[in-house]
Every structure is written in C-alpha cells, then in structure tokens.
Amino acid sequence: MFHRLSAIAVFTALIAGSASAEGTSYVFERGFPANDATIQAARDATVLRRAIEAYKYFYPTVATEAVMQQFEPFGARANEVGIIMPQDPEQQFSVANQDTPYVIAVFDLKEAGPMVVDVPEGPYIGLIDDHNMEWFGDMGTIGSGQGKGEKNLLIPPGYEGEIPEGFTPLYSKTWKSVLAMRVVVQSGDYDEAVDLARRLKIYPLEAESEASSYEIVDVKGNAAPLPILSWEKNIEYWRQLHAVIDSEFVQSDRRFNYGLLHALGIQKGEPFEPDARMEAILTEAAMTGWSEMNVNFFANPRPERLIWPDRNWVFVPLAGPLDQETGDFGNADYRDLLANDFYFFMAWGTSSAIGRRQAGPGSLYFYTPRDATGAYLDGAQNYKLTVPGPVPASQFWSVTVYDTETRTIIDTDQGRGAVRTIYENPEPNKDGSFDIYFGPEAPEGKENNWVKTIPGKGWFTFMRIYGPQEPIFDSSWVLPDIEEGDW
C-alpha cells in the first residue's frame, strides 16, 4: 500500500508542477525548472548516478592498476622485473589462495612492443589480464602447451606485424597487462617453486636472439599492502582511474563508459581538477559504489548462487566461467553486471578456466560468510566445519579465511590463514572426515586443523578443491555448513 500511495503522490505532484525523488523536491513552472535549487539538485543527481555506475564498471581497472603498483617498492618494473610471493597474509592480494606461490609480472607493450613469455614444461598455471582485468590468455597446464611448454607472444593493440612461427599469439586490448602464474608444487617446497619460477623466460620479441635478462624477485617475508584498499572509498580512486584513462589505449567499444567518466571530468588528455562540489559527489559515489558491491557479495539474492539448496556455500564465480566468446561474465546478449560486481569486489584475475563446474584438471572454489543458522561469521566466536571424507579432490584441497574489510587473507600472529593438505596435513577423524576449527584460540591438540580469527572482525572462508571429482557435481558429496560451538 505504501508504494502505491507514493506513486499516486508523485503523479499528483507532477500534475501540479513539482516532483520528489529521494527526498529532493523538483519544482517546475510551465514545464521549466522553477528555481536554482531544482536545477542544481537535478544536475547533482545525474552526476552522482553516473559516478556510481562508473565506479562499479571501472573497479577492475583500478584494481589492476593497484596490482601493477603493489610490488614496485621491491624493484618490480614492467617488462624487466617481476616478483614471486608465497601469498602469506602480509602480501595482501584479493582472495588469494595460500596454497601455491604466485609470480606477478607487469607488461607495458607500448614501450616494448610484442613480449614473449616462454613457459617451460612443468607445473605452471597462468593467466594474463589487460588493464581492465579482461582475460586474453592462459598459459602452462591450461595454455596452448597443456603443461608441456609453449612460447606465448603478447600482442599490443593495433599491431600489424607478422606473428613468427611457433608462437601462440595473445592479443591485449590495452597497453599494459598483468601475468599471474601459479607454481603448483604439491610437495609444498617454496624454494622449489622459486627455482621453477626463475625458469620462465620473458623478453621483447625483438630481443629473441639474446638471453633473457628478466628477473624475478622473491618477496617472501615482506609486507606488501594492497593499494586499492586506501583508494576505494575516497577521491583517490578517481585520481588513479584518471591516470589510467590518460595513459591507456582508447577502446572504441567503451565509448559509453568513457562518456560516464567525461561527465565526471575524467577525460584522456585533460587534467582532472574536481572542484569542492564534484569532489564531494565523487567521494559519495565511491562510498555508495563500494557499499553496493559489498552487499552484492555478502548478501547476494540469486538462488542459483548456492551449490546445495539447503546450505550456505556459494559458487565462485557467481555465474559460472567466463563466456569464451565475449571474455566476460554473461553471454552474447548481455553482460551480467551483478556477476561482475560480485566477482571483482573480492578477486583479482580472470581466466577461461576460472569457475569451470566440471570434474577433471583445474580447481573449484566455493565460499561462505555465514554459519549454519545464516548468521555472519564472527571473529570472537568458535566454529567448526566438518569436511566429509573422502574429499573428491584428485590433487589437494584447502580451507582459507579472509578478512571481510580487506578481502585478503586474515593476518594474525598465527602466520597463516589456511588449513591445507599439502602444508598442515590436517588430522582426519576415524571415519575419514576432517574437522576444521576457527576461533581466537585453538582446540587442544588440534592446532594443525585450526585457523585463528580476530574478535571484533568479521571473516569469510573459501574452500578450494584441486582436481575436482564427480561426487561434487552429482551431490553424492555435500559440504555441511559451519557450526558455532565451544571447546
């Protein structure tokens, strides 16, 4: 009844020459705006609405820029120096797994021209995304060589040169891009992973006859804050976005989205100098956009998000794998904006292999922020997750805890945020199941089966299954919800 009466009230006001939207009165006389307040309110509403949508649409762009900057203090440089990290809590990375070390390499194809990424035979799983976090290539076991080795050639936009024989061409839509390469050492030996990472050969195509001089720096033990966490709720978000737009290749298929930014004073080749009014609107838009993405991730309404209808475990990504034709979430008819917001709020990196819901090589992820009652997980409470055995993983599995504010691995004096079969080797129960514990203190004798949480903070968890098997998909294996308990 309330909504019907509200609609009638607005209709009556329109007939009388005024209208109300979100508490703002618009007054019109003879069809014209009647005063400066109406004009200013309408203009501000337009800018705010466009800014909120631009914030969400370009979030993956700014998130990628953050990754490009994150490791520069350790000497990382585009085309020349990358890093390898164990992804411990101090290396903040959006919902990173703590199972396999990662190589991160940044490329600037405007500066270097086509770049070669020569991946030898071995346990490498890599993806490469452009500056907008749009996937344009897979490498290693999911690449053209299927783990037997391959030479990938990163092609800049507009490139018209010949592709040499023996290379797999990967076409970037932007000048800059980021490679994320997992080194999957099932023994858990980090030094072995570092050695394997340094066997990658990366060099400009024009320097093919020369030895690769690319360096990979080990950042283990070093704190590497994630820059976007200090940008995402304030004006700095827009400054970083302007810098990207100003330096990057212009994509004609993004004209509408560039138009949103133009309305905000963000335009290639022009300075970004918001006045006090615009800065206030953009700050509000950042807070609103962040809030909407947060709600979409932690309180998503889609029923198909659930792996099992009577449990709280949610598929990641929400809408399944990327569409192979469009390279994004959705299909040829539309882009799934809800799935975009869900994924990019918490994760960095897209790949054709992410989210495949089938048995075989690769990995399957699902997450929950809730316990069995539907309540959000509380860092002050004790919980237990019973993982039924045998776990349908042909390789290994893990359970990882994340801080809700940062969406990165929870950082405590425990020094880890995960229970993993290749590291902690959790102790099974007599029936083959595993009890995984969460809370401020460990249950006696169960330290290897426990992740420490922080009172006063929320948390959520991912379960990762490497080499998922059929019992997950025919529901003969079902993961229970997390239960609150005492010990």
How far apart (Å, rounded) are the C-alpha atoms in residues 462 and 450? 14
Tracing tokens 């993806």 back to the chain, one arrives at: 127
The set of residues, in sequence order, having a beta carbon less than 8 Å from that of 314 and lying 6+ positions away, is 300, 305, 306, 307, 366, 367, 368
Q: Are residues 478 and 345 in the same domain?
A: yes
**387: β partners:** 434
Does a structural domain hold residue 29?
yes
Q: The CATH number of the domain where 283 resides is what?
A: 1.10.3360.10
How far apart (Å, rounded) are the C-alpha atoms in residues 418 and 315? 19
Structural domain tally of the chain?
A: 4
| Burial tier of 303 (Cβ tally within 10 Å: 0-12, 13-18, 19+) | exposed
**Tokens linked to 159:** 């490139």
The dihedral over CA atoms of 189, 195, 199, 204, expressed in degrees to the nearest 10, equals 110
Q: Closest Cα to residue 364, out of 388, 344, 391?
A: 391
Does a structural domain hold residue 65?
no
Q: Are residues 126 and 148 in the same domain?
A: yes
Q: Are residues 90 and 157 in the same domain?
A: yes
For residues 342-368, one letter each, b for 16 or more C-beta atoms within 10 angstroms of the residue's C-beta and e for the rest, the string is: bbbbbbbbbbbbbbbeebebbbbbbbb
Positions of the chain with pLDDT lower than 70, given as ranges: 1-24
Q: What is the reported pLDDT for 358?
A: 86
Q: What is the reported pLDDT for 20?
A: 47
Q: Closest Cα to residue 230, out of 441, 83, 70?
A: 70
Query: pLDDT tens digit string along 370-426?
Result: 999 999 999 999 999 999 999 999 999 999 999 999 999 999 999 999 999 999 999
Contact (CB, 8 A) for 203 and 212: yes
Q: Are residues 31 and 85 in the same domain?
A: no
Q: Are residues 95 and 185 in the same domain?
A: yes
Q: What is the reported pLDDT for 457?
A: 97
**Tokens linked to 285:** 């838009």
Q: Are residues 461 and 394 in the same domain?
A: yes
Q: What is the reported pLDDT for 22?
A: 52
Query: pLDDT tens digit string along 279-325?
Result: 999 999 999 999 999 999 999 999 989 999 999 999 999 888 888 88
H or E element that contains 364: strand 363-368
Q: Are residues 260 and 188 in the same domain?
A: no
Does a structural domain hold residue 63?
no
Q: What is the reported pLDDT for 148?
A: 97
Q: What is the reported pLDDT for 223?
A: 97
User: Cα–Cα–Cα angle for 430, 435, 441, nearest 5°?
Assistant: 130
How far apart (Å, rounded) are the C-alpha atoms in residues 44 and 468? 50
Domain containing residue 267 = 229-289
Q: Closest Cα to residue 224, out of 129, 355, 42, 96?
A: 96
Q: What is the reported pLDDT for 13?
A: 42
How far apart (Å, rounded) are the C-alpha atoms in residues 374 and 368? 10
Residues of the chain by 3-state class (helix, strand, coil), percent to 5? 30, 25, 45
Q: Are residues 103 and 204 in the same domain?
A: yes
Q: What is the reported pLDDT for 325?
A: 82
Q: The CATH number of the domain where 179 resides is what?
A: 2.60.40.1610
Contact (CB, 8 A) for 164 and 141: no
- For the CA atoms of the chain, what is the radius of gyration? 25
Q: Are residues 379 and 403 in the same domain?
A: yes
Q: Are residues 411 and 374 in the same domain?
A: yes
Q: What is the reported pLDDT for 326?
A: 85
Q: Are residues 279 and 360 in the same domain?
A: no
Contact (CB, 8 A) for 115 and 153: yes
Coil, strand or helix: which one is 320?
coil
Q: What is the reported pLDDT for 24?
A: 62
Q: Closest Cα to residue 128, out of 96, 95, 161, 106?
A: 106
User: Cα–Cα–Cα angle for 453, 393, 365, nearest 5°?
Assistant: 50
Q: Are residues 149 and 50 in the same domain?
A: no
